[in-house]
């Protein structure tokens, strides 16, 4: 991250960049933290986003998929704040590091899913396998059984499906229910296969 903004480059505020990409500010912060967008901080501590990076990303993000990301992130935060996760017995085994891994993994899944929806003709086998293996790894590390791992994934799947339903109700998305269902099922299968491979 540059300490000072180059004068030849235009930098956008969090609100400006979020509006241009049509994504939640929290999503934009996470993209920046992962290095997907160049940023710097003002002396007051506010982030500024490289306009060229934002424009390049906007050209590759379909409006309905960026809305889908925002809706899913919002749903996940609501689920956590409403105590749905805390009410699950298996969740008590998640320490703060495991919770952080779970949040990061969920965001990565949503971003890969959004990219898949924007370009379903591309081969996504490697990305799906990686997601499944990472879910399996997290499940193993916190001591979840296969059944508990499936319940945990099912809870997140419900968040994603709820977001799809919201977009459909608002008539801002096309037919995405079936591809979303296929993608999530493939990740689930990859997770279970990875868990079983270790058990052998």
Q: Which of 5-19, 130-144, 184-198 has the lowest mean pLDDT?
A: 5-19
Average pLDDT, the chain: 79
Spatial distance between the Cα atoms of 106 and 100, rounded to a whole number of angstroms: 10
pLDDT score recorded for residue 123: 86
Q: What is the pLDDT of residues 67-126, one digit of tens each?
A: 566 666 666 665 665 567 778 888 889 999 998 888 888 878 887 887 787 777 788 899
The ranges assigned to domains in the chain are 11-58, 63-199
- Encode burial over 72-98: b for 16+ CB neighbours within 10 A, e otherwise: bbbbbeebbeeeebeeeebbeebeeee
The burial of 137, by beta-carbon neighbours within 10 Å (0-12 exposed, 13-18 middle, 19 or more buried), is given as middle
Alpha-carbon distance values, 86 to 92, 94, 112, 116, 135 (Å): 7, 10, 27, 31, 19
Which position has the token pair 């986003």? 49
pLDDT score recorded for residue 194: 95
pTM of the model: 0.62
String of DSSP letters for 23-81? --HHHHHHHHHTTSS-EEE-TTS-EEEEHHHHHHHHTTS-HHHHHHHHHHHHHHHHHHH
pLDDT above 60 for 61:
no
Q: Which of 10-14, 29-33, 48-52, 178-182 has the lowest mean pLDDT?
A: 29-33
**What's the rounded mean pLDDT across residues 153-169?**
73
Q: What is the pLDDT of residues 4-13, one digit of tens each?
A: 545 567 899 9
- Report which secondary-structure segment, H or E, holds 117: helix 96-118
What does the block give as tokens for 115?
A: 């990219």
- The answer to whether the beta carbons of residues 24 and 18 sit under 8 Å apart is yes
Q: What is the pLDDT of residues 162-178, one digit of tens each?
A: 776 665 554 444 577 78
CATH architecture of 11-58: Orthogonal Bundle (1.10)
pLDDT above 70 for 191:
yes
- The answer to whether the beta carbons of residues 135 and 153 sit under 8 Å apart is yes
Among residues 95, 159, 105, which one has the least CA distance to residue 132?
105
Spatial distance between the Cα atoms of 172 and 160, rounded to a whole number of angstroms: 16
**What's the rounded mean pLDDT across residues 138-144?**
95
pLDDT score recorded for residue 199: 57
């Amino acid at each position: 991250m540059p300490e000072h903004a180059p004068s030849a480059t235009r930098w956008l505020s969090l609100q400006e960049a979020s509006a241009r990409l049509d994504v939640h500010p929290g999503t934009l912060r996470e993209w920046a933290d992962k290095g997907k967008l160049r940023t710097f901080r003002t002396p007051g501590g506010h982030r500024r986003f490289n306009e060229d990076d934002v424009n390049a990303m906007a050209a590759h993000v379909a409006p309905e998929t960026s809305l889908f990301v925002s809706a899913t992130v919002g749903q996940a935060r609501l689920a956590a704040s409403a105590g749905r996760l805390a009410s699950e017995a298996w969740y008590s085994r998640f320490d703060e590091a495991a919770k952080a891994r779970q949040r990061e993994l969920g965001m990565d899944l949503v971003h890969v899913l959004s990219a898949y929806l924007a370009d379903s003709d591309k081969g996504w086998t490697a990305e799906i396998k990686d997601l499944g293996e990472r879910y399996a790894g997290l499940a193993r590390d916190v001591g979840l059984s296969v059944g508990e791992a499936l319940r945990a994934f099912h809870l997140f799947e419900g968040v994603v499906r709820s977001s799809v339903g919201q977009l459909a109700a608002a008539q801002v998305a096309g037919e995405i229910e079936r591809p979303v269902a296929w993608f999530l099922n493939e990740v689930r299968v990859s997770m279970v296969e990875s868990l079983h491979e270790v058990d052998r």
